Amino acid sequence: MIKTLPMRLSRRPARVLLAGLLFVFFILTLTRSRHAGGRHSKTYQRKTKSFFPPLRKKGGVDPDYCENFPTQLLDDIQIVLKTGAGDAAKNKAHLATVTSCITNLIVVSDHEEKIGDRQVIDILAELPASYAVNNTDFQAYAEHKKAQAEGETVNYSREGWRLDRFKFLPMVDKAYATNPKAKWFVFLESDVYFFWDTLFRLLDQLDPTELHYMGSPAPGANDLRFAYGGAGFVLSQGLMKKLIPPKTVATEGLDTRLSVRYEDWVKEDCCGDAVLGYAIYNATGVKLEALYPTFAGDELKKMVVDKERWCVPLLSIHRVQPEQMEGIWKWERTRPYNQKPFVFSSLLAYTHSFLKEGPTREFWDNLSEAPVRKDNAAKNANACASECSNDPKCLQWSYSQTVCRFANYIKLGNPVDKENGGQGEFTSGWDLKKMGELGFKVDEDSDINDTCMEATWLTPTIHTSKQAQ
């Protein structure tokens, strides 16, 4: 029994103590890196075919961004978008960009709605009535329904967010029931950007009859890793078959839906993605195949590009704002035609195109690390830049108030308030020489858009209890 431990343990004092210890352990686990340090151990190289390269002909101001989308693959790959009340702007942006080419998309939410020609399914309506009994978290659901019946817009709320966890199990049930022949089931959220070409290349290398549960790992109860919802995740047909067996004599005619079998777990847990992971392990014995950072789940401005990740294929970005969603989509589709896999360093042509104008940026925090040495108080930004260039690992630096910071990665970062911040000068810079050696070149005869010779695919990591972090 994975999930309900703390509940069950409250009967005896010794058990309470044990529960306390478990809790401490849980917090310790949480405060450690969510992604096991961001390290990835093994990679492999394989030639893969491009299924959805950028447009060849850009065709005017408003080209058809879905041109050449491999729609035939959608018979085999069922995509599901999960969203919620109050996400109207995100949904609109997502459906107009990333999911605009997905003809058989399933959109699930906590209320029914029509967005353009897309039907949004109220997935909570498919839950057994017992979910609502003695469940204060379900009140928001009733309120949504009432507001909607009165023609009001349903807005974002904390309570609405707490409803989110109830969507995961019925969403998986629904995807399988709707398209039982699909070889792959892919789940994403309305603030998750997906590079489709990477997904198709990845799935093309795998056997869907095998049991696959893939995503970005987050630590769960009992030392189990689950796929973090914000990075998207993928289930294979083989897994689905075992996870949700048909109602037969063997299942004694019982309802085999996950939402029925694991109702208690989801009521007691905070997070639907975690419960899905526990349910998958409980029903099939399958553990998450962690593919971080390909399933990145990171924010664009904090995305780390370094030597190790340079050629690692990138599949997802998290917390993408609606305007950003549109920006990345248009850029991705219209960047120079290229059959190579989209990798971490490909993103630099989008995030760091300003480097064409020069290696520094004023009033900009590059999120460089805290100073590495006590004595590296540089006199000015130029001195900081040259210290960085002398450090073989330094890829970027920032300078403010006599503090010079280095980083052995490249990040976008964010602007610093000129007027109000009180921080005065704040300059960030990038070491174009070392970036050039890695493959990022902004001089005339080289190409900022083509950074990596050959992709290095990740071998999935499966966490075992004894594994050292």
Ligand X SMILES: *[C@@H]1O[C@H](CO)[C@@H](O)[C@H](O)[C@H]1NC(C)=O
C-alpha 127/C-alpha 131 separation (Å) is: 7
- Backbone φ/ψ region at 70: left (φ over 0), alpha (ψ -120 to 50), beta: beta
Tell me the closest approach of the beta carbon of residue 10 to ligand X, in angstroms: 15
**Residue 155 is a binding residue for ligand X (CB under 6 A):** yes
Q: Which of 50, 178, 282, 321 binds ligand X (CB under 6 A)?
A: 282
**Residue 178 is a binding residue for ligand X (CB under 6 A):** no
Which region, judged by CB under 6 A, interacts with ligand X, from 62-70, 289-297, 384-392, 397-405?
Answer: 397-405
If we measure between CA atoms, which residue out of 98, 262, 105 comes closest to residue 178? Answer: 105
CA 387, 389, 393: angle at the middle one, nearest 5? 100
Q: Closer to ligand X at the Cβ: 98 or 154?
A: 154
**Residue 398 is a binding residue for ligand X (CB under 6 A):** yes
C-alpha 359/C-alpha 402 separation (Å) is: 19
Which residues, 186 to 245, sit near ligand X by CB under 6 A?
none
Per-residue three-class SS string for 32-99:
CCCCHHHCCCCEECCCCCCCCCCCCCCCCCCCCCCCCCCHHHHHCEEEEEECCCCCHHHHHHHHHCCC
Q: Which of 165, 267, 405, 463 binds ligand X (CB under 6 A)?
A: 405
Q: Closer to ligand X at the Cβ: 118 or 441?
A: 441
Residue 208 phi, psi dihedral angles, 5° rounding: -70, -15
Tell me the closest approach of the beta carbon of residue 1 to ligand X, in angstroms: 4
**Residue 370 is a binding residue for ligand X (CB under 6 A):** yes
**Residue 1 is a binding residue for ligand X (CB under 6 A):** yes
C-alpha 408/C-alpha 398 separation (Å) is: 12
Given the DSSP bridges, would you call strands 106-109 and 118-122 parallel, antiparallel or unpaired?
parallel
Tell me the closest approach of the beta carbon of residue 162 to ligand X, in angstroms: 17
Instruction: Extract the tokens encoding 137.
Output: 């978290």
C-alpha 219/C-alpha 225 separation (Å) is: 5
**Residue 447 is a binding residue for ligand X (CB under 6 A):** yes
Rg (Cα) of the chain, in Å, rounded?
Answer: 24
Per DSSP, the three-state class of 170 is helix
C-alpha 81/C-alpha 83 separation (Å) is: 7
Q: Closer to ligand X at the Cβ: 75 or 443?
A: 443
Tell me the closest approach of the beta carbon of residue 458 to ligand X, in angstroms: 24
Q: Which of 349, 394, 410, 455 binds ligand X (CB under 6 A)?
A: 349
Which residues, 329 to 348, sit near ligand X by CB under 6 A?
335-336
Q: Which of 315, 343, 367, 438 binds ligand X (CB under 6 A)?
A: 367
Q: Closer to ligand X at the Cβ: 188 or 317?
A: 317
Tell me the closest approach of the beta carbon of residue 447 to ligand X, in angstroms: 5
Q: Closer to ligand X at the Cβ: 224 or 311?
A: 224
Which region, judged by CB under 6 A, interacts with ligand X, from 27-35, 115-123, 210-218, 366-374?
Answer: 366-374
Which residues, 125 to 154, sit near ligand X by CB under 6 A?
133-134, 147, 152-154
**Residue 448 is a binding residue for ligand X (CB under 6 A):** yes
Per DSSP, the three-state class of 193 is strand
Contacts of 245 (CB under 8 A, 6+ apart): 251, 256
Tell me the closest approach of the beta carbon of residue 104 to ligand X, in angstroms: 30
Q: Interface with ligand X by CB under 6 A: which residues?
A: 1, 133-134, 147, 152-155, 282, 335-336, 349, 365, 367-370, 398, 400, 405, 447-449
